Amino acid sequence: MDMNVFIQGIPKAELHLHIEGTLEPETLFRLAERNGIRIKFNSVEALRQAYHFDNLQSFLDIYYEGAGVLQKEEDFYDLTWEYLLKAKAQNIRHVEIFFDPQTHTERGIAFETVINGIYHALSDGARTLNISFCLIMCFLRHLPESEAMATLSQALDFKDKITGVGLDSSEYGHPPSKFIRVFEKARKEGFMTVAHAGEEGPAEYIWEAIQELKVHRIDHGVRALEDKSLISELKRRRIPLTVCPLSNVKLRVFKDIRTHSFKTLFDQGLCVTVNSDDPAYFGGYVVENYIALQNAFQLTRDDIAQLAVNSFNAAFISQDKKDIFI
């Protein structure tokens, strides 16, 4: 069997996916028209051409602007549904989706409009596409701690719909330690916790995420290699990394896939998972990320199978459910 067919067919989970990052240019145009919003690009092609980034911030500027077309509950529903159809076609059986409420509440969209649209699509997907799901609410780390705390308070009314909380947006200058009290409260309320760390930021931020925020997983974590004792700690505590290779190349964390730290992290026996991050912006969904790694590092079928198993092992689902998938 062809390797790409093998990658496509093997059951997988996706654990690092920003739902706002699945907004394909075609959908952006469609929603802009539906909501009467003017956009500064003349065509889908012109917009796609603009997807060249120098670093994380240059991407975030476009990503937050694009999210402006999401206005009504049905927009969030349609966005999520389109992603689920793509996930289904790639044999993704379980998804853990990030959403950024502050991106929307800051521009006057109600928290419930956002979560209801996303959640209804995920519920329909669980029923009709057989894709199970968790929802993870991310705090925007460039905003003050007080705003994250207010967002956490809003989320308490929707506790039954939200499994965990995370931390995303501009990393430099916004270390995990800025959010110690928010994560402490979130843990007390029963939320699972994750944080982006060591994407652009230093290994020190990964230490802070595990020691001060006590996270269950690290999102990205690709700079962990810079600290041997950190690698030992991640291994000892079996803390998974949700790695997004195409994202890291697009945002110039690595020059190309061949120089990505993935293989070294994987060979050290860390629980590495493969994910797409913001697939509409970075040129590929989960399967394309696996294929890029396979090509660059000559991964074997056993390697691919291990990565797929890792994705379920690292998921926020019960052991019984993992046993069904693995």
- Residues catalogued as catalytic: 199
Phi and psi at residue 139, to the nearest 5°: -90, 140
Which among 145, 154, 169, 144 is positioned nearest to 115, based on CA atoms?
154
The C-alpha torsion from 315 through 321 and 322 to 324, rounded to 10°, is -140
Which among 188, 178, 95, 194 is positioned nearest to 141, based on CA atoms?
178
317 vs 1: CA distance, rounded Å: 31
**Beta carbon of residue 37, minimum distance to Zn ion (angstroms, whole number):** 25
Asked if residue 18 belongs to a known ligand binding site, the reply is yes
Site stretch for Zn ion (CB under 5 A), options 40-48, 180-188, 277-285, 299-307: 277-285
**Beta carbon of residue 174, minimum distance to ligand HPA (angstroms, whole number):** 10
State which H helix or E strand residue 72 sits in: none
- Residue of minimal CB distance from Zn ion? 277
**Beta carbon of residue 16, minimum distance to Zn ion (angstroms, whole number):** 6
Q: Are 202 and 174 in contact (CB under 8 A)?
A: no
Instruction: Single out the residue of 210, 277, 279, 284 in contact with ligand HPA (rule: CB under 6 A).
Output: 277
Q: Which two tokens stand for residue 72?
A: 């009504």
Q: Cβ atoms within 10 A of the Cβ of 55, count? A: 13
Identify which of residues 10 and 103 has a Cβ nearer to ligand HPA in the complex: 103
Instruction: Single out the residue of 14, 15, 18, 262 in contact with ligand HPA (rule: CB under 6 A).
Output: 18
Which among 260, 258, 262 is positioned nearest to 241, based on CA atoms?
262
Asked if residue 61 belongs to a known ligand binding site, the reply is no
Instruction: Single out the residue of 94, 104, 174, 196 in contact with ligand HPA (rule: CB under 6 A).
Output: 196
Q: Is residue 171 near Zn ion by the rule CB under 5 A?
A: no
Asked if residue 75 belongs to a known ligand binding site, the reply is no
Asked if residue 278 belongs to a known ligand binding site, the reply is yes
**Beta carbon of residue 276, minimum distance to ligand HPA (angstroms, whole number):** 10
Q: Is residue 21 near ligand HPA by the rule CB under 6 A?
A: yes
Give, in degrees to the nearest 5, the angle at Cα 205 between 147 and 169: 40
Asked if residue 16 belongs to a known ligand binding site, the reply is yes
In the shown chain, the binding pattern of residues 154 to 173 toward ligand HPA, with x for contact by CB under 6 A and - for none, equals: --------------xx----
**Beta carbon of residue 6, minimum distance to ligand HPA (angstroms, whole number):** 28
Q: Where are the strands (E) in 19-76, listed by range?
A: none
Q: Is residue 104 near ligand HPA by the rule CB under 6 A?
A: no
Angle between helices 301-313 and 286-297 (to 10 degrees): 140
Q: Which strands make up the sheet holding 132-140, listed edge to edge?
A: 12-18, 92-99, 132-140, 164-168, 192-197, 217-220, 241-243, 272-274
Footprint (CB under 6 A) of ligand HPA, residues 234-253: 247
Q: Is residue 278 near ligand HPA by the rule CB under 6 A?
A: yes
User: Which chain residues interact with ligand HPA by CB under 6 A?
Assistant: 18, 21, 56, 63, 168-169, 196, 199, 247, 277-278
Q: Write out the binding residues for Zn(2+).
A: 16, 18, 196, 277
User: Which chain residues interact with Zn ion by CB under 5 A?
Assistant: 277
